[in-house]
């Protein structure tokens, strides 16, 4: 069971650059969008957003905060990427970095760490993602589920153009994650 306070020094799982990506059916492929990594926490009516190094981003992204507060769970911790999109719907790091779209920044949610007091980090990634998908299914516009591709994919294939991304991650889908460690990824 996690402590009932929101995380301030939470160490998310990070991608590692590699020349050879793992293959096989136990892997899934996720998008790493051009934005800010965010740990979003809700504890009752209290909502907090933290950056990877632990900076409080709560007041910077009101749309994410409002949407997280409306989720039906008593508490949750979601790992994701705060993203601002340009006029073509493509993630733009410059928009988010220069505070030009703070009111419209949304969260691409890709992992669920805690739900209603239960620490889910020991559960397989595919179980956490399925639970996350059901929790945020109606949460739009402030939180969106980060799509993934299951199974073995060619390591050099580009991600679908509609995802508008330059980076992909590969995560083992059946084993628990080791938080604060590195997952296999590519740039």
pLDDT of residue 180: 47
Count CA atoms closer than 13 A to 137's CA, side-chain side: 6
pLDDT of residue 15: 67
pTM, full prediction: 0.79
pLDDT of residue 26: 76
Domain 16-186 CATH (choose: 3.90.1150.10, 3.40.50.300, 3.30.70.20, 3.30.470.30): 3.30.470.30
Q: How do the pLDDT tens digits run along the chain, 187 residues long?
A: 333 344 544 566 666 676 766 677 777 777 778 899 999 999 999 999 998 888 899 999 999 999 999 999 999 999 999 999 988 888 889 999 998 888 899 999 999 999 999 999 889 988 999 999 999 998 878 999 998 777 665 454 554 544 444 435 545 555 555 444 445 444 3
pLDDT of residue 186: 40
Measured at the alpha carbon of residue 9, what is the angle toward residues 41 and 127, in degrees to the nearest 5? 50
pLDDT of residue 54: 84
Beta strands in the chain (DSSP E): 14-17, 27-32, 36-43, 46-51, 75-83, 106-115, 118-119, 143-145, 148-150, 167-172, 182-186
pLDDT of residue 52: 82
Positions marked catalytic: 32
Helix/strand number for the chain, H first, E second: 3, 11
């Amino acid at each position: 069971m996690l402590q009932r306070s929101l995380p301030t020094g939470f160490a998310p799982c990070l991608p590692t650059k590699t020349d050879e990506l793992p293959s096989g059916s136990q892997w899934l492929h996720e998008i790493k969008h051009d934005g800010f990594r965010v740990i979003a926490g809700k504890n009752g009516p209290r909502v907090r957003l933290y950056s990877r190094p632990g900076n409080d981003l709560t007041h910077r992204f009101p749309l994410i905060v409002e949407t997280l507060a409306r989720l039906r769970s008593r508490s949750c911790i979601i790992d994701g990427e705060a993203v601002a999109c340009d006029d073509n719907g493509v993630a733009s790091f410059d928009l988010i970095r220069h505070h030009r779209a703070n009111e419209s920044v949304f969260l691409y949610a890709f992992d669920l760490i805690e739900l209603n007091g239960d620490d889910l980090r020991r559960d397989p990634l595919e179980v956490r993602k399925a639970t996350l998908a059901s929790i945020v299914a109606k949460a739009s516009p402030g939180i969106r589920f980060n799509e993934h591709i299951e199974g073995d994919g060619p390591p050099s294939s580009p991600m679908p153009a509609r995802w508008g991304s330059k980076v992909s991650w590969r995560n083992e889908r059946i084993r628990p994650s080791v938080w604060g460690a590195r997952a296999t990824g590519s740039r």
